[in-house]
Structure 1
Amino acid sequence: MSENTFPISNPDAIVHFYRTEVLTGQEAKHFTKSDLTPTPKPEAIQTLYMRVLHLLFRFRPECHSMVPLLENIQNPVYHEGATSIMSVYIRMQQFLPMCLVYDFSLNDLLAPKKQKTLTVLSAIMNFLHFRNQRMDLIFEKQAKFRADMDRLQTYTKGNMEAEKKIETLTTIPPEQQAEAEELAAVLSELQSTKIHEYQEVDAKNESIAEWKAKIAEKTQKLAQVKVDVCNLKEDVSKLKSQIVESPEELKTQMEKMRENVKNIKSSNKEIDEQMVELQNMVQSVTHTEAEIQQMYSLLQDLESSMNNTKQRHKELTAQYEKKQKELRNLCVEEGQLKRALAMKLDKESKHKIRKQKKKEMKDQQIQDVLGQRNQIHEKREEMADRIQEISRETQQLKANIQSLRDVSSKETAKAQALYDTLSASMDKLHERIETHIVDLKQDVTKMSAHF
């Protein structure tokens, strides 16, 4: 039942279809959804099958209850109820394989079940839809065939009339034979010139066809090139959308950035050391200036050396300012590198989040598939249980049928024995009657002779 090649409709659609397409009159009015669900009614299902057989095979419902007039049947009235059901069962068993239903049993008529009845009715509905489509196509083909036959008759009549006209026109009277010969000569010349011109036209047409073929090849090549370009553009766009920074490149960039940070730290340390040296030098200079101011009166000769020291101090301050500018630039670069590092880390975190979401989606899909698999397994077990129940019922029915056959065979054997004894007694009686008639005839002859 799970391998049906046709759709199983719901009870409402089945009731609507059979009320409009199969049943007529009061039967269509009285046929409702309660006849199918929750438990189908055997009388409604049997009448429905009879109407389907009448629609398809023109087998009237009253013909199912007709009992054949055999010699050995006693009390045929008792067989009428069973013969109608058996007739419907036999004909439905012959018809349903055309609807791709192969497991129809007698229990589907006597005690039908909901799912099996809906399956059988859906199969019949599918077959009737297919039959209506084929009938429409056949009617269209018949109409076309009739129209073609009418056209063929009209065309044959026209051809006959045209042949008669051609015969009348082709018969040249003897008075116009000379003119006909001249006209024939002119026609032959015209035909020769016509053939020559046709040859020239054919040559030009061939050249035109060659040019057209070349142009078509070029256009095909251009179209193929355009298609290839479009495909390449699509591939490039897809590849661009699929480009994701690889973790190896991120690792190399991180290592480079760490090396740059290390270099910057080392340069900062060197600058700090130089600053300490410069501060020490400045302290020494200030100390020397104090000593010079104290000893200005005594050390006028050292004024030139003091000017030199001042110039050196200026140079050192200029170097100090330069170093400060360099340190600021290095701090700016360090901030930029930190921002780039933060952007990279943000991208990595987003990429990880996307991967996690995709993994969760896949896990959810796997769980859904496993749930569906479990449901299918449960349904399969239910169907296996149903099949076992049906097989048990079929075995019981087979056993009942076999017992009924045995009983019927015993009864037929008894009836045959009775028939044999009766026929033997009848034969003996006939022989006695014949002997008695012969004796009577002899007596009559004796009495006639006596008289």
Structure 2
Amino acid sequence: QLDVLHMIYMRILQKVYGIRLEHFYMMPVNVDIMYPQIFEGFLPVCNLYIHMERLLPVCRINDFQIADVLNPKTKRTVRFLSGILNFVNFREFRREVYLELQMNYKSAMEKHQQLETANREAVLKLEKLNTVPVEHQAEVKQLTENIRELEQLLRQDYRRKQAALQEVISQKKSEMAEGTRKLNELKVMMATLKEEQEQLKSKIVESPEELKNYKELMKETVKKLKKSKQEVTEKYEGYRDLVEVLPSCQLEVQLYQKKMERQGANVEMLASVLSEVRNLEDQLESAQIELKKGKTDEMSLKRLVTAKHEKLSTAEIRIKKKREDVEQYKHTVFEYCNRVQEKRGAVYDKVTAIHKEIQQTRFKIQQLNENAEKQEMKAK
């Protein structure tokens, strides 16, 4: 039925373009119509045809005519409706994709803002860690210079004392080794002499002179052994005194070691601060990398959105061109109607003038006839 088809078309236009039902019964205000009473009965059908002619080229249907609204054919109507349904389904699908892209773009922008805020906070923390307050800069600089000078002095003094102590220790060790070697030699000599004494006891002759000489020789050797033993004991006592002095040097070395440990703790603290700074720099670099990724995602989304906008703009340009063509066609039709109306008025004026002339000639003929009859009556 024609009314049902018109209602379907109106519902489709309402869904696609948001045109309400009362808009089909309104007179267009952008067109100068000379005789609006002509359009009163034809206005809904004309508006429906105008809007459908704007919609169907978007659906790739370019042969829609006014006859398809006034006297629709079944096959053409089915083709029109299938094209409209395909367009509506495609529009809904692309709308979902567009909304998804829009949501992704919004989430990327939010992530981009979060990364920028985190980046700014990390930069502020890094600047706060790197910068020293103005009122403490001179003190910190003086302390660092004092610490460096003290470290250099302590290292030089420690190396000097350690070198001297090592030299003394090595010298004393060599002397102790020499003394122990001599003591061992003397012990060996004592043992050999005792063996010789035992051997000689068995071979002693009864000669008193030889015995006397031998005793003197033994006394001299005993004196030599005692003298060497005394020298060894004196050297041993000197070595023992040096070893007793050694703990005081060790205490001093321990003090220097403690100072070095404190300096090492300060260095470790400085290293921990530097490691924290490096961690912050790594976080900053990772945040910058994520920011770059977010920017690339943003650029890709912007390119997609611009491509969609370009497609929409081209479609709008086509629709605008079709509208302009329709408006131009309507304008030409209205101009033709106006010209026909003007020609009709001119013809009507000519016909009325001819009627007047005919009436005047008839009146003149009647008067002539009456005059002729009067003359005939007079002649009779």
- TM-score normalised by L of structure 1: 0.42
TM-score (normalised: structure 2): 0.49
Point out which structure has higher relative CO (alpha carbons under 8 A, 6+ apart).
2
Structure label with greater radius of gyration: 2
